[in-house]
Amino acid sequence: MRRSAAALVGIAAGMLAGAAFIRRRGADRDRVDLYYEDGSMVSLSNGSPDAERLLPLAREILRKTR
Protein backbone atom coordinates (compact mmCIF):
# COMPACT_ATOMS: atom_id res chain seq x y z
CA MET A 1 0.00 0.00 0.00
CA ARG A 2 2.73 2.41 1.04
CA ARG A 3 4.80 1.33 -1.97
CA SER A 4 2.03 2.04 -4.45
CA ALA A 5 1.38 5.43 -2.86
CA ALA A 6 5.07 6.28 -3.22
CA ALA A 7 4.97 5.16 -6.86
CA LEU A 8 1.96 7.41 -7.49
CA VAL A 9 3.69 10.35 -5.86
CA GLY A 10 6.80 9.64 -7.98
CA ILE A 11 4.76 9.51 -11.18
CA ALA A 12 2.97 12.74 -10.30
CA ALA A 13 6.28 14.45 -9.50
CA GLY A 14 7.73 13.23 -12.79
CA MET A 15 4.75 14.54 -14.71
CA LEU A 16 5.03 17.93 -13.01
CA ALA A 17 8.74 18.10 -13.76
CA GLY A 18 8.10 17.15 -17.40
CA ALA A 19 5.37 19.76 -17.75
CA ALA A 20 7.64 22.40 -16.23
CA PHE A 21 10.45 21.39 -18.61
CA ILE A 22 8.18 21.58 -21.67
CA ARG A 23 6.78 24.90 -20.51
CA ARG A 24 10.27 26.27 -19.98
CA ARG A 25 11.37 25.08 -23.42
CA GLY A 26 8.32 26.77 -24.94
CA ALA A 27 9.10 30.00 -23.13
CA ASP A 28 12.72 29.86 -24.32
CA ARG A 29 11.49 29.54 -27.89
CA ASP A 30 9.57 32.81 -27.71
CA ARG A 31 11.64 35.53 -29.32
CA VAL A 32 11.53 38.16 -32.07
CA ASP A 33 14.37 38.52 -34.57
CA LEU A 34 14.59 41.77 -36.49
CA TYR A 35 16.72 42.05 -39.64
CA TYR A 36 17.81 45.42 -40.98
CA GLU A 37 18.78 46.72 -44.40
CA ASP A 38 22.38 47.33 -43.32
CA GLY A 39 22.78 43.63 -42.48
CA SER A 40 22.41 43.98 -38.71
CA MET A 41 20.08 41.82 -36.66
CA VAL A 42 18.47 42.31 -33.26
CA SER A 43 17.13 39.36 -31.32
CA LEU A 44 14.56 40.18 -28.64
CA SER A 45 14.25 37.34 -26.19
CA ASN A 46 11.17 36.61 -24.15
CA GLY A 47 11.01 38.89 -21.14
CA SER A 48 12.51 41.97 -22.75
CA PRO A 49 10.16 45.00 -22.93
CA ASP A 50 10.20 45.07 -26.75
CA ALA A 51 9.49 41.35 -27.02
CA GLU A 52 6.63 41.73 -24.53
CA ARG A 53 5.14 44.28 -26.90
CA LEU A 54 5.64 42.26 -30.10
CA LEU A 55 4.98 38.66 -29.03
CA PRO A 56 1.29 39.19 -28.13
CA LEU A 57 0.76 40.58 -31.66
CA ALA A 58 2.36 37.46 -33.15
CA ARG A 59 0.23 35.18 -30.95
CA GLU A 60 -2.88 37.10 -32.01
CA ILE A 61 -1.97 36.62 -35.69
CA LEU A 62 -1.40 32.88 -35.19
CA ARG A 63 -4.70 32.52 -33.33
CA LYS A 64 -6.70 34.44 -35.95
CA THR A 65 -5.22 32.71 -38.98
CA ARG A 66 -5.69 29.20 -37.63
Partner 1 sequence: MDAQQALADLTEISSQIQAAVVFDEQGKVAAATVDESRAGALADGAGRLLDQAEQVKAGTGGSLIQLEAATDEGSVFVVADGPRRIAATTAPDPTVGLVFYDLKSALRSIAVKPAPRKATPRKPSAAKKTTSAKKTAPRRKKTDAS
Interface with partner 1, residue 1, by CB under 8 A: no
In angstroms, give the least distance from the CB of 22 to partner 1.
9
Nearer to partner 1, 2 or 38 (CB): 38
The one-letter amino acid code at 12 reads: A
Cα gap 48→20, rounded to integer Å: 21
Interface with partner 1, residue 15, by CB under 8 A: no
Give residues 30-49 in contact with partner 1 (rule: CB under 8 A): 30-40, 42, 44
The one-letter amino acid code at 57 reads: L
**How many CA atoms are closer than 13 Å to the CA of 36, on its beta-carbon side?**
6
